[in-house]
Structure 1
Amino acid sequence: MKNSLLFVTFIASMAILYGNTFSLVSKNQDMKSIKFVSSTIEFNEKDGYTRLTNPELGSTVEDGMPELPTYSTFFHMEPGKAYNVEFEVISSHTVDNIEIFPYQGEPEIGTVRPFLKNVDFYTSKSKFPESNITVSEPMIMRDIEVGQITFIPFEYNAHEKQLTIYDDVNISVIESGEREDVANFPLKRSYLFEPFYEDLILDYEPLSTREEYQPATIMYVCGGASLSHPFVQDLIEWRRLQGYIVYAVSTSETGGSSASAVENYLEDVFNTWETPPEIVGLIGDTGGTYGIGYHTYDGGATDVDYSYLSGNDFLPEVFIGRISVNSSSDISNVINKTLTYEKALNQESWWYERAALVGDPSSSGVSTITTMQYVQNIMENFGMDDIRTNYSNGNYDNWVEDQFDDGILYYHYRGYYGSSGIGESGLNSGIYTPFAGSLTCGTGDFNGTSNSESFLRAGSYSDPQGAVGCVGVSTLSTHTAYNNIVHMGMVEGIYSKGMNHAGASLANGKLALLKTYPTNPNNAVSRFSAWPNLMGDPALHLWKDHPHDFSIDTPATIPEGTTSLDVFVTDENDDAVENARVTLNFGDEYFTGYTDMNGITSISWPADISIGHGTIGIFKKDFRLLQRSLAQTQVQGPALTLDNLRTTIDDSVNGNGNFMMNPGEQVSIQIPILNYGNSTTEGLELELESGNQKAIVLDSVQNHDSIEPNSEANFIFSILLDNAIYEAEDLDLKLYITDSDHNQWMIPIPTYIYGPKLELIDYNILGSGIMNQGQESRINLTFKNTGSMNLENIIIEFIDNEGAISFPSNSINVNQIDANTEFIINDFAIHPSNSIINGSIVSVPFHFSSENGYVGSDYVTFTVGERDEGDPLGPDEHGYYIYDSGDVNYSMAPVYDWIEIVG
Structure 2
Amino acid sequence: MGGSVMRIVLTIISLAAAVFASGPVTWEGQHDGLTIHLDLRKVEVSKVMAADNMGYSVLLLSRAGSMNEIGKPQLPVYRRLVEIPYGALVEVAAKPWDVKRYELELPYYPHQYPIPKSGDVPGFIRDEKAYARNEFLPEPGARVVETAVMRGHRLALIEIRPVSYNPVQHVALVASHMTVAVRWTNAEREQTMRHHRRYDSPVFAGRLDGVVMNSGEFNFGPGPDLPVGYLVITPDEWQQNLTPLAEWRRRKGFHVFVRTLSQVGGGSATAVKSYIQDAYDNWPIPPSFVLLVGDVDRIGYFTGQGQGSPPTDLNFGMVEGSDYFPDIDVSRASVANSAQLDSLVDKIVTYEQNTWSSDTNWLKKQYFIASADGGHHQIAEATHSYAMEKIRLLGVECDSLWLYYGSGTPITTALNGGRSWVTYSGHGSRDCWADPNPDFSVDDVHALTNVDMVPYVQTFACLTGDFTYTECFSEAWIRSGKRGAIAHAASSVSSYWTEDDTLERRVFDCMFDSSFFWVMGGFNKAKLIYYAQMGAGPRTRRYFEMYNLMGDGAIDVYSLEPEGLNVSHPAVIPLGNYPMLVRVKNNEQGPVENALVCVTAKEDTTVFTAGYTDASGEVILTVNTTSPDSIYVTVTGHNLAPYMGSALALPSSGPYV
Alignment-mate amino acid for residue 56 of structure 2: Y
| Match among 506, 521, 529 for residue 489 of structure 1 | 506
Alignment-mate amino acid for residue 478 of structure 2: L
Given that 1:67 and 1:100 are in contact with CA atoms closer than 8 Å, whether structure 2 keeps it comes out as no
Q: Which moved more, 1:69-78 or 1:152-161?
A: 152-161
TM-aligned CA distance change 1:208 to 1:137, over 3 Å: closer
In structure 1, the residue matched to 2:7 is none
Question: What do residues 278-326 of structure 1 show as CA deviations (whole Å, max 9, x unaligned)?
Answer: 1111111111xxx111112245321011111111223210111111111
In structure 1, the residue matched to 2:158 is 149
In structure 2, the residue matched to 1:414 is 425
Give the distance between the partners of 2:593 and 2:273, measured in 1 at CA: 37
TM-aligned CA distance change 1:179 to 1:48, over 3 Å: farther
Given that 1:617 and 1:627 are in contact with CA atoms closer than 8 Å, whether structure 2 keeps it comes out as yes
Give the distance between the partners of 1:180 and 1:440, measured in 2 at CA: 44
Q: 5 Å matches for 1:464-483?
A: 464-475=482-493, 477-483=494-500
SS of the equivalent of 1:481 reads helix
Q: Check if 1:62 corresponds to 2:77.
A: no
Give 1:240 deviation, angstroms.
1.2
| Match among 340, 361, 364 for residue 353 of structure 1 | 364
TM-aligned CA distance change 1:561 to 1:152, over 3 Å: closer
Count of residues paired in the alignment: 614
Give 1:389 deviation, angstroms.
3.3
| Match among 17, 20, 29 for residue 27 of structure 1 | 29
In structure 2, the residue matched to 1:196 is 207
Q: Which moved more, 1:352-361 or 1:128-137?
A: 128-137
In structure 2, the residue matched to 1:49 is 56
Give 1:379 deviation, angstroms.
1.9
Higher helix fraction: Structure 1 or Structure 2? 2
Give the distance between the partners of 2:123 and 2:362, measured in 1 at CA: 50
Alignment-mate amino acid for residue 143 of structure 1: G
Give the distance between the partners of 1:33 and 1:299, measured in 2 at CA: 38
TM-score normalised according to structure 1 size? 0.64
Give the distance between the partners of 1:445 and 1:553, measured in 2 at CA: 48
Q: Check if 1:440 corresponds to 2:461.
A: yes
Percent identity (aligned) = 21
Q: Check if 1:275 corresponds to 2:280.
A: no
In structure 2, the residue matched to 1:744 is none
Q: Check if 1:504 corresponds to 2:521.
A: yes
Q: Check if 1:249 corresponds to 2:269.
A: no
Give the distance between the partners of 1:241 and 1:180, measured in 2 at CA: 37
In structure 2, the residue matched to 1:393 is 405
TM-score normalised according to structure 2 size? 0.87
Q: Check if 1:558 corresponds to 2:573.
A: yes
In structure 1, the residue matched to 2:619 is 601
| Match among 180, 192, 209 for residue 171 of structure 1 | 180
Give 1:636 deviation, angstroms.
3.7
| Match among 386, 391, 394 for residue 374 of structure 1 | 386
Q: Check if 1:218 corresponds to 2:230.
A: yes
TM-aligned CA distance change 1:162 to 1:59, over 3 Å: same
SS of the equivalent of 2:173 reads strand
Give the distance between the partners of 1:507 and 1:27, measured in 2 at CA: 27
Q: Check if 1:37 corresponds to 2:39.
A: yes
Give 1:539 deviation, angstroms.
0.6
TM-aligned CA distance change 1:392 to 1:629, over 3 Å: same
SS of the equivalent of 2:94 reads strand
TM-aligned CA distance change 1:125 to 1:571, over 3 Å: same
Give 1:329 deviation, angstroms.
1.1
Q: Which moved more, 1:257-266 or 1:167-176?
A: 167-176
In structure 1, the residue matched to 2:446 is 425
Given that 2:68 and 2:74 are in contact with CA atoms closer than 8 Å, whether structure 1 keeps it comes out as yes
| Match among 555, 565, 570 for residue 585 of structure 2 | 570
Give the distance between the partners of 2:619 and 2:186, measured in 1 at CA: 45
Question: What do residues 828-878 of structure 1 show as CA deviations (whole Å, max 9, x unaligned)?
Answer: xxxxxxxxxxxxxxxxxxxxxxxxxxxxxxxxxxxxxxxxxxxxxxxxxxx
Give 1:512 deviation, angstroms.
3.2
Given that 2:140 and 2:162 are in contact with CA atoms closer than 8 Å, whether structure 1 keeps it comes out as no
Question: What do residues 734-788 of structure 1 show as CA deviations (whole Å, max 9, x unaligned)?
Answer: xxxxxxxxxxxxxxxxxxxxxxxxxxxxxxxxxxxxxxxxxxxxxxxxxxxxxxx
Given that 1:67 and 1:103 are in contact with CA atoms closer than 8 Å, whether structure 2 keeps it comes out as yes
Give the distance between the partners of 1:387 and 1:341, measured in 2 at CA: 22
| Match among 155, 160, 165 for residue 169 of structure 2 | 160
Given that 1:98 and 1:163 are in contact with CA atoms closer than 8 Å, whether structure 2 keeps it comes out as no
Give the distance between the partners of 1:414 and 1:600, measured in 2 at CA: 43
SS of the equivalent of 1:261 reads helix
Give the distance between the partners of 2:651 and 2:182, measured in 1 at CA: 64
TM-aligned CA distance change 1:635 to 1:60, over 3 Å: closer
Given that 1:188 and 1:213 are in contact with CA atoms closer than 8 Å, whether structure 2 keeps it comes out as no
Give the distance between the partners of 1:26 and 1:57, measured in 2 at CA: 20
Give 1:632 deviation, angstroms.
2.9
TM-aligned CA distance change 1:413 to 1:97, over 3 Å: closer
Q: Check if 1:292 corresponds to 2:296.
A: no
TM-aligned CA distance change 1:233 to 1:51, over 3 Å: same
SS of the equivalent of 1:467 reads coil
In structure 2, the residue matched to 1:344 is 354
Give 1:104 deviation, angstroms.
4.3
In structure 2, the residue matched to 1:538 is 553
SS of the equivalent of 2:427 reads coil
| Match among 257, 264, 275 for residue 274 of structure 2 | 264
SS of the equivalent of 2:413 reads helix
In structure 1, the residue matched to 2:6 is none
TM-aligned CA distance change 1:150 to 1:539, over 3 Å: same
Given that 1:363 and 1:415 are in contact with CA atoms closer than 8 Å, whether structure 2 keeps it comes out as no
Give the distance between the partners of 1:613 and 1:113, measured in 2 at CA: 66
Give the distance between the partners of 1:182 and 1:328, measured in 2 at CA: 45
Give the distance between the partners of 1:26 and 1:492, measured in 2 at CA: 25
The answer for unaligned runs of 5 or more in structure 2 is: 1-10, 49-53
Q: 5 Å matches for 1:803-842?
A: none
SS of the equivalent of 2:198 reads coil
Q: Which moved more, 1:211-220 or 1:112-121?
A: 112-121
TM-aligned CA distance change 1:274 to 1:137, over 3 Å: farther
Give 1:340 deviation, angstroms.
1.9
Alignment-mate amino acid for residue 597 of structure 1: A
Q: 5 Å matches for 1:660-809?
A: none
In structure 1, the residue matched to 2:341 is 331
Give the distance between the partners of 1:213 and 1:364, measured in 2 at CA: 49
In structure 2, the residue matched to 1:88 is 95
Given that 1:242 and 1:625 are in contact with CA atoms closer than 8 Å, whether structure 2 keeps it comes out as no
Question: What do residues 328-374 of structure 1 show as CA deviations (whole Å, max 9, x unaligned)?
Answer: 11012111221222222344342122111110141661212222222
Given that 1:217 and 1:244 are in contact with CA atoms closer than 8 Å, whether structure 2 keeps it comes out as yes
The answer for unaligned runs of 5 or more in structure 1 is: 1-11, 638-676, 679-903
Alignment-mate amino acid for residue 453 of structure 1: E
Give the distance between the partners of 2:34 and 2:477, measured in 1 at CA: 48
| Match among 441, 450, 457 for residue 472 of structure 2 | 450
In structure 2, the residue matched to 1:591 is 609
SS of the equivalent of 1:549 reads coil
SS of the equivalent of 1:63 reads coil
SS of the equivalent of 1:204 reads coil
Give the distance between the partners of 1:300 and 1:594, measured in 2 at CA: 39
TM-aligned CA distance change 1:435 to 1:169, over 3 Å: same
Give 1:560 deviation, angstroms.
4.2
Given that 1:102 and 1:116 are in contact with CA atoms closer than 8 Å, whether structure 2 keeps it comes out as no
Alignment-mate amino acid for residue 496 of structure 2: H
Q: 5 Å matches for 1:809-888?
A: none
Given that 2:374 and 2:404 are in contact with CA atoms closer than 8 Å, whether structure 1 keeps it comes out as no
In structure 1, the residue matched to 2:135 is 126
Give the distance between the partners of 1:557 and 1:539, measured in 2 at CA: 32
